[in-house]
Amino acid sequence: MTSPKFLEDEKYINLETYKKDETPVKTPVWFVVDGEKLYVITRESTGKVKRLANNPKIKLAACSFSGSVHGDWFSGVATLIEGKEAENAVKLRKKKYGFKVLLAGFMTKAKGELVVYSIVLE
């Protein structure tokens, strides 16, 4: 298992999820690292949530805002989480990204409630 701590100073990761036919879809996303876990917070009706429901395997790499990768790719598994662990991840994201979280939340509210995925790297 690879520790995600090497990503702590990064702002974005390129998250690769897979369609039912296994076509990869790459999406630059915000994330937080807490201990040995990496968390991605998104909205419930986004494409990545639909893809993760069908296949929890992912790949990720550090990237720029536009998705340009500047690090190695790592494989992992995403798990939908709830409760205190999810609440903590949301708080960590707010602390890391500040006012941008409020702005993004306002702009994406139509895509449903927040959902949190815990990612364990292989």
Question: Residue 103: its pLDDT value, please?
Answer: 60
- What CA–CA distance (Å, rounded) separates 53 from 118? 13
Residue 51: Cβ within 10 Å count: 22
pLDDT in tens, 80-108: 999 999 999 999 999 988 877 766 665 66
User: pLDDT digit string (tens) for 30-81?
Assistant: 999 999 999 999 999 999 999 999 999 999 999 999 999 999 999 999 999 9
CATH tag for 4-121 (out of 1.20.1260.10, 2.30.110.10, 1.10.4080.10, 3.30.70.1290): 2.30.110.10
pTM attached to this predicted model: 0.91
